């Protein structure tokens, strides 16, 4: 216990802290400039000075630790004089351009000067001249305004871990610059913007477009991009989003954002938004009224159901839609359409893996809080680059590394290159054998665990089967050693490993490790509501809350509330639906908020299948490649235009709030409710909260959950529900051995930091940061083909071909070339075909040989 006196007030502290924090705790304000709560104390600006009895000079309260018996005074004539003097110093080189500066109104320097400030300028010399830099598309730098608090640099280095900017020069010549001194060429998280106290680093997205005091409102909501589910504040003027900012005290991200969350909001105001329903007439999509379009859909679906049965209808739900939307979607599909053929693009990764782990290890095995990562001793990273797929989760791994955690990367994770302590590079597409070897290594030391005999048995069998067959890959033994030593281990799994036709092998190995090491398992989730969609019942085998649809008891409870029958057989999974459509077994398909043509491998195959449908309905906010093929297109409302909830990858349920009014479009759930009524199965709700009330009533998992609780941030797994145990009492048999992949090049899916697909492509800022697809190729491969950075190449595979510039990446050591799936005309899935993993039902995308030809040198 430390007791000190500040301004005659006695303050007792239960843990060590600075005098500044102690004062703040007691509600005493001390002005600061270089200090920021997200950063370590720096002590540079000298504004936070205080008097401390028995200390000769004024002391910096931000760096002085509170000590027992200390007597502190935070205001005095001497202190004010000092602060005034320091502010005068800060202003000598600071331009007096507040009227032009975007920071005015929320500038810490302006506020301080208003409070303490000198008014008469005794400084008559020329001010430091540094031309404003607009060389970067996103971030403007005005170093005349910089007060060299280094908050931006410390943020970029110590928190973001991008280390993209630094103070150049020293003394009064100090200025902040990126390496190139022009373009930032960084991760564009914008977290430096959050901490710059003045207008020295500004976002060009809104430069000169509004003043902080001109905003109509601020709304707290959740990011629409990925499964981390960062909280953010949307600032609105005239029903248009002007800016997105984080709040230090809010959500899982505590003040941090990534490029997508911060700069990706513009899509919502895109010119390309769908404004009215469209109906295909004479082969083209034409504008229609809502009632016309809804009538057509209801009539057509009813006709198909009556003629061919519900099993000939299928629905694809959306990991970008809310829990409420998805819940109503599956209710509509199950009751009005009479089908369990409900799945989502999530089946290509997250949903497949999630199901595998829950079946084996029990419900909730993947529900782990992000804080657990920060506190891990060892983190095993597999499958994808967390810093790109789930950037803010990636920051937790970086933070753990800074605290001394071991970070072991199997494969590649570029965003962790400066943070990993060990890298193991499996043979191409053969990650499973590495993981199996690690698992047997751990097993041979630890032995069985005993809680789950069937898992123990599976591990033992695996171990017997592969014992003695070492791959000889470097780092495996070290990995085993590290894992055995670690008191707290986290496993972070990216979906690339899942996309193998024997993907379940890797999944079993991961499950085994999770089980033996009692590790925390995190599934990377590239979309904001993958977990929520599963929990809302948008899967072919489970009702909301993860209750098996083929168990009559469970079904009966839902039927009672829905007042309609639910089909008793499990439905088809995503790829089975697509194949079914191609074979003519599926006649009608309802797609909500997704773009299967772009988001499923082998685009031409998917298109072909959709073309065979009798009826395709797409409900979306854009006329996506899939919507272009539809018979009816229904315009939905997007993020910030409606309320609802998302479930993040920790399985935390969070509230999305409406922030802007718009005239076109309807909430997804409302469209479905309208259709349901028209099809004779009324399902009406007064609003999203009403939907949640029903979900809380029918789903054992969501039991008693309220918006109030969710808004308070308390909706953490398992809420008030009861998790189910695993169901797979037998580990499915696993094929042995694997092919060698010896062709010159193979195609692989890239997951860039700056894009997510359909939405990000319509965000100007993200397009400026990353305007086109590039082909990432290793240095050896580039040398073999004589390729240099920026050369344009044609990629061809049996499935298709495309052209894109290359980017040579020295960190890629194998014969894969990476292409992202985000851009029309050069999406990786256009070029890939797949084979289904019989157990996970995810597409295997390995082994796609690709021919690369240079078509043009750099201009």
Residues of the shown chain interacting with ligand FES in the complex, contacts defined by CB under 6 A? 32-35, 43-48, 60, 62
Select the binding partner of residue 48 from ligand FES, ligand SF4, other proteins, none (C-beta < 5 to 8 A, by kind): ligand FES
Site string for other proteins, 617-646 (x = CB under 8 A): ------------------------------
| Residue 163 interacting with other proteins (CB under 8 A) | yes
| Residue 228 interacting with ligand SF4 (CB under 6 A) | yes
- Considering only 50, 153, 201, 241, the residue that binds other proteins (CB under 8 A) is 153
Site string for ligand SF4, 169-198 (x = CB under 6 A): -------x-------x-xxxxxxx--xxxx
List, in sequence order, the alpha helices (H) in 749-854: 764-769, 779-785
Phi, psi of 397 (to 5 degrees): -70, -40
How many whole angstroms separate alpha carbon 528 and alpha carbon 646? Answer: 7
| Residue 201 interacting with ligand SF4 (CB under 6 A) | yes
- Considering only 4, 47, 162, 483, the residue that binds ligand SF4 (CB under 6 A) is 162
Q: How far is the CB of 45 from other proteins (least distance, A)?
A: 5
Whether residue 386 contacts residue 494, with contact meaning beta carbons closer than 8 Å, is answered with yes
What's the half-sphere exposure (Cβ side, CA atoms, 13 Å) at 290? 15
Q: How many other β-carbons are positioned within 10 Å of the β-carbon of residue 59?
A: 18
What are 425's two structure tokens? 């590079």
Whether residue 42 contacts residue 62, with contact meaning beta carbons closer than 8 Å, is answered with yes
- Considering only 38, 92, 233, 623, the residue that binds other proteins (CB under 8 A) is 92
Query: Vertex 655, ends 660 and 595: CA angle to 5°?
Result: 70
**Considering beta carbons, is residue 198 or 288 the nearer one to ligand SF4?**
198
Whether residue 146 contacts residue 127, with contact meaning beta carbons closer than 8 Å, is answered with no
Those residues whose C-beta lies under 8 Å from the C-beta of residue 207, and which sit 6 or more positions away, are 102, 140
Total of chain residues touching ligand SF4, rule CB under 6 A: 42
3-state secondary structure of 325: helix
| Residue 468 interacting with other proteins (CB under 8 A) | no
Select the binding partner of residue 152 from ligand FES, other proteins, ligand SF4, none (C-beta < 5 to 8 A, by kind): ligand SF4
Select the binding partner of residue 433 from other proteins, ligand FES, ligand SF4, none (C-beta < 5 to 8 A, by kind): none
Q: How far is the CB of 497 from ligand SF4 (least distance, A)?
A: 20
Give helix 574-583 / helix 603-611 axis angle, nearest 10°: 50
- Considering only 31, 41, 255, 261, the residue that binds ligand SF4 (CB under 6 A) is 261
Select the binding partner of residue 229 from other proteins, ligand SF4, ligand FES, none (C-beta < 5 to 8 A, by kind): ligand SF4
What are 565's two structure tokens? 């029958």
Residue 232 β-bridge partners: 221
Task: Please name which of 431, 450, 574 lies closest in space to residue 508, comparing C-alpha atoms.
Answer: 431
Whether residue 434 contacts residue 424, with contact meaning beta carbons closer than 8 Å, is answered with yes
| Residue 389 interacting with ligand SF4 (CB under 6 A) | no
- Considering only 99, 171, 283, 737, the residue that binds other proteins (CB under 8 A) is 171
- Considering only 30, 64, 72, 164, the residue that binds ligand SF4 (CB under 6 A) is 164
Sign of the alpha-carbon dihedral angle for 454, 460, 462, 464: negative
3-state secondary structure of 555: helix
Select the binding partner of residue 157 from ligand SF4, ligand FES, other proteins, none (C-beta < 5 to 8 A, by kind): other proteins
Select the binding partner of residue 625 from ligand FES, ligand SF4, other proteins, none (C-beta < 5 to 8 A, by kind): none
How many whole angstroms separate alpha carbon 255 and alpha carbon 714? Answer: 19
Instruction: Tell me 747's DSSP state.
Output: E
| Residue 421 interacting with other proteins (CB under 8 A) | no
**Considering beta carbons, is residue 15 or 170 the nearer one to other proteins?**
170
| Residue 416 interacting with ligand SF4 (CB under 6 A) | no
| Residue 753 interacting with ligand SF4 (CB under 6 A) | no
**Considering beta carbons, is residue 187 or 530 the nearer one to other proteins?**
187
List, in sequence order, the alpha helices (H) in 15-107: 19-25, 77-92
Q: How many other β-carbons are positioned within 10 Å of the β-carbon of residue 169?
A: 9
How many whole angstroms separate alpha carbon 166 and alpha carbon 599? Answer: 39
Element (H, E) at 400: helix 391-402
Positions touching other proteins (CB under 8 A) are: 41-47, 49, 57-58, 60, 63, 65, 82, 85-86, 88-90, 92-93, 122-123, 125, 147-148, 153, 157, 162-174, 177-180, 417-418
**Binding site residues, ligand SF4, CB under 6 A:** 146-152, 155-156, 160, 162, 164-165, 176, 184, 186-192, 195-198, 200-201, 223, 225-226, 228-230, 253, 257-258, 260-261, 390-392
């Amino acid at each position: 216990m430390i007791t000190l006196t500040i301004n005659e007030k006695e303050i007792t502290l239960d843990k060590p802290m600075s005098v500044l924090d102690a004062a703040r705790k007691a509600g005493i304000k001390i002005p600061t400039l270089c200090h920021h709560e997200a950063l370590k104390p720096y002590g540079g600006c000298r504004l936070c000075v205080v008097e401390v009895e028995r200390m000769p000079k004024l002391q910096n309260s931000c760096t002085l630790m509170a000590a027992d018996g200390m007597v502190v005074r935070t205001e005095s004539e001497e202190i004010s004089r000092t602060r005034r003097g320091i502010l005068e110093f800060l202003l000598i080189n600071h331009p007096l351009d507040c009227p032009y500066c975007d920071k005015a109104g929320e500038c810490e320097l302006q506020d301080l000067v208003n409070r303490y400030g000198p008014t008469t300028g005794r400084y008559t010399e020329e001010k430091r001249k540094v031309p404003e830099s607009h060389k970067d598309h996103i971030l403007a730098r005005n170093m005349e305004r910089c007060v060299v608090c280094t908050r931006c640099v410390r943020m970029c280095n110590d928190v973001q871990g991008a280390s993209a900017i630094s103070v150049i020069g020293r003394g009064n010549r100090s200025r902040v610059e990126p390496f190139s001194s022009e373009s930032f060429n960084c991760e564009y998280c914008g977290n430096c913007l959050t901490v710059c106290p003045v207008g020295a680093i500004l976002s060009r997205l809104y430069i000169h477009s509004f003043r902080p005091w001109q905003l109509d409102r601020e709304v707290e909501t959740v990011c629409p991009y990925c499964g981390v589910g960062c909280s953010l504040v949307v600032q609105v003027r005239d029903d248009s989003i002007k800016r997105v900012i984080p709040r230090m005290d809010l959500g899982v991200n505590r003040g941090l954002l990534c490029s997508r969350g911060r700069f990706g909001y513009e899509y919502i105001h895109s010119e390309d938004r769908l404004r009215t329903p469209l109906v295909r007439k004479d082969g083209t999509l034409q504008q229609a009224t809502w009632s016309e379009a809804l009538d057509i859909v209801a009539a057509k679906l009813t006709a198909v159901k009556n003629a061919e049965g519900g099993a000939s209808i299928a629905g694809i739900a959306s990991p970008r839609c809310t829990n409420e939307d998805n819940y109503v979607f599956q209710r509509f599909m199950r009751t009005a359409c009479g089908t369990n053929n409900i799945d989502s693009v999530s089946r290509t990764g997250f949903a497949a893996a999630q199901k595998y782990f829950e079946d084996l290890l029990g419900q909730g095995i993947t529900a782990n809080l992000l804080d657990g990562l920060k506190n891990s001793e060892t983190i095993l990273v597999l499958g994808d680059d967390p810093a790109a797929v789930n950037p803010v989760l990636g920051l937790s791994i970086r933070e753990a590394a800074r605290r001394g955690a071991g970070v072991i990367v199997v494969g590649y994770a570029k965003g962790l290159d400066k943070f990993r302590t060990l890298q193991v590079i499996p043979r191409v597409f053969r990650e499973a054998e590495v993981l199996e070897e690690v698992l047997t290594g751990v097993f041979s030391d630890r032995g069985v665990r005993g809680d789950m005999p069937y898992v123990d048995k599976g591990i033992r069998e695996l171990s017997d089967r592969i014992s003695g067959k070492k791959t000889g890959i470097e780092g495996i033994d070290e990995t085993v050693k590290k894992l055995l030593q670690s008191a707290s281990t986290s496993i972070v799994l990216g979906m690339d490993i899942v996309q193998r036709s024997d993907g379940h092998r890797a999944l079993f190995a991961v499950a085994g490790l999770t089980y033996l090491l009692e590790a925390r398992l995190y599934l990377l989730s590239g979309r904001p509501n993958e977990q929520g969609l599963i929990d809302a019942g948008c899967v072919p085998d489970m009702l909301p809350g993860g209750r098996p649809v083929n168990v009559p008891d469970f079904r009966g409870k839902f039927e009672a509330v829905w007042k309609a029958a639910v089909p008793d057989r499990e439905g088809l999974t995503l790829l089975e639906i697509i194949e079914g459509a191609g074979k003519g077994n599926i006649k009608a398909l309802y797609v909500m908020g997704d773009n299967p043509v772009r988001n499923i491998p082998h685009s031409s195959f998917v298109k072909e299948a959709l073309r065979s449908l009798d009826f395709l309905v797409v409900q979306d906010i854009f006329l996506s490649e899939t919507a272009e093929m539809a018979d009816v297109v229904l315009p939905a409302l997007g993020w910030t235009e409606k309320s609802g909830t998302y479930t993040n990858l920790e399985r935390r349920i969070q509230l999305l709030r409406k922030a802007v009014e718009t005239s076109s479009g309807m909430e997804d759930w409302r469209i479905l409710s309208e259709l349901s009524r028209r099809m004779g199965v009324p399902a009406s709700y007064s609003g999203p909260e009403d939907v949640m009330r029903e979900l809380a009533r029918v789903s054992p998992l969501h039991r008693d959950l309220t918006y109030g609780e969710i808004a308070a941030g308390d909706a953490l797994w398992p809420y008030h529900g009861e998790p189910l145990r695993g169901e797979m009492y037998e580990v499915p048999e696993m094929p042995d051995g694997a092919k060698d992949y010896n062709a010159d090049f193979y195609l692989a899916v890239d997951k860039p930091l700056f894009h997510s697909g359909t939405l990000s492509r319509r965000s100007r800022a993200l397009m400026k940061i990353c305007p086109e697809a590039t082909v990432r190729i290793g240095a050896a491969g580039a040398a073999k083909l004589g390729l240099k950075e920026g050369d344009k190449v044609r990629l061809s595979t049996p499935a298709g071909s495309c052209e894109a510039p290359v980017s040579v990446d020295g960190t890629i050591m194998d014969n894969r070339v990476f292409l992202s799936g985000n851009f029309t005309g050069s999406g990786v899935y256009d070029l890939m075909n797949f084979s289904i993993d019989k157990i996970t039902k995810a597409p295997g995308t390995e082994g796609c040989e690709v021919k690369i030809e240079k078509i043009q040198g750099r201009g």
